Amino acid sequence: MARVVTLAVVAVILAVLSSAPAKAQSLSCRSYPTAVIVSQIKNRVEALRRIEREAHDRAIGLDTRPYEWLLSQARAGPAAIADPAALAAEAALSRCRNHIRPLRRVCAGAAAMLVRMIEELAADGVTKESKQAYVEAMPQCETWLGLMPLNTSLRTTD
């Protein structure tokens, strides 16, 4: 009789453990993003914010650096943040039972939009769609990283 009860308990435990996705059982679901990941992304985002300030200054005539230089600097941001393996690992966390903020994906999207806006500035005009996409993505990224969103001409939607 005790053996039957023991087998039943083991069966119930195995059923419970196998019903949850494998990624949801790992520690990363509870601890994502880790302090190391936040620190790495935050450093990259702060570099992008400096480039955004310089692009803003260039747009209003305070900076003489050419847009091509700013563009070359800005292109390093998305590449560093949007590491394919790290993005895939973050996407795999969507199977977790608790909500996982897609920090890397959102910040990589914001970085890509900054590059697009600087390309458009170099071509004499930023489209309203580019600005709107950047205005939606970058403040979310900054907020998740604990940064106060910037207030530049690149973020105003006239």
Q: Name the more confident of 109 and 28.
A: 109
The verdict on whether omega for the bond into residue 33 sits within 30 degrees of 0, i.e. cis, is yes
Q: How confident is the model at residue 1 (pLDDT cuts 50, 70, 90)?
A: low
Q: Which residues contact 65 (CB under 8 A, 6 or more apart)?
A: 54, 58
Position 3 scores a pLDDT of 52
Residue 51 has pLDDT above 90, yes or no: yes
Count of helices and strands (H, E) across the chain:
8, 0
84: left (phi over 0), alpha (psi -120 to 50) or beta: alpha
pLDDT, the chain, mean: 80
Residue 10 clears pLDDT 50, i.e. is over it: no
- Is the pLDDT confidence value at 56 over 80? yes
